[in-house]
Amino acid sequence: MVWQIVAFSILLVFYTIYIGKMISQKKKGIQTDQIARGKKKGKLFRVELMMKIATYSVVAVEVISIILNISALPKAARIVGIILGVAGDIVFAIAVWTMRDSWRAGIAENDKTEIVTSGIYRFSRNPAFLGFNLVYFGILLIFFNWVLFIFSAFAAIMLHLQILQEEKYLPSVFGEEYLTYKKKVCRYIGRK
């Protein structure tokens, strides 16, 4: 029961931040969810659509795994999962807060935003995605089963493909400033 409460708490904190930010931005007239929206075509649209499906699906499988209390791993692995999940919540919260109103989910082709390179973005170009992955793999370690493994891995792969799409797009918006930033800061964590 304790494992379930902790895991649900990790998910609750994470999605409260995510949905709360979307509501906050909507009140300001900002459309946060840009995933597979607008006039996107081709690979960009397909990647974003698959990412949306993957990230929604993994949550459903996580919740089912938590409810069924399925786990094939020892207590030590589950504790590591809690640490990763909590770290994911913290990293995600800091990333969203630091990004302020420049944060979008998906590529915002028609929105004018500012490049953010301060705070947590000095150490990761994609801390929000890192937060997602930490939560996914944290929950996976707490309630390991092969179905959850497949869905978590698929979601992480789709998030990575989204990052690659954004890395192609951002130079057209921020030019040399983004390219210089990209040379200094790693995709997930660390400085070069």
Q: Tell me which amino acid residue 176 is.
A: E
**What does pTM read for this prediction?**
0.91
**Positions of the chain with pLDDT under 70:** 30-38, 40, 104, 106-111
pLDDT one-digit tens code per residue, 127-180: 999 999 999 999 999 999 999 999 999 999 999 998 998 899 889 888 999 999
Residue 82 has a pLDDT of 98
Angle, alpha carbons 138-126-15 (nearest 5°): 50
Residue 108 has a pLDDT of 66
Residue 34 has a pLDDT of 65
Residue 191 has a pLDDT of 85
Residue 161 has a pLDDT of 92
Residue 185 has a pLDDT of 96
User: Distance (Å, rounded) from C-alpha 101 to C-alpha 113?
Assistant: 8
Residue 107 has a pLDDT of 66
List the structure tokens of 167: 């890395």
C-alpha neighbours within 13 Å on the C-beta side of residue 16:
8
136 in Cβ contact with 160 (< 8 Å): no
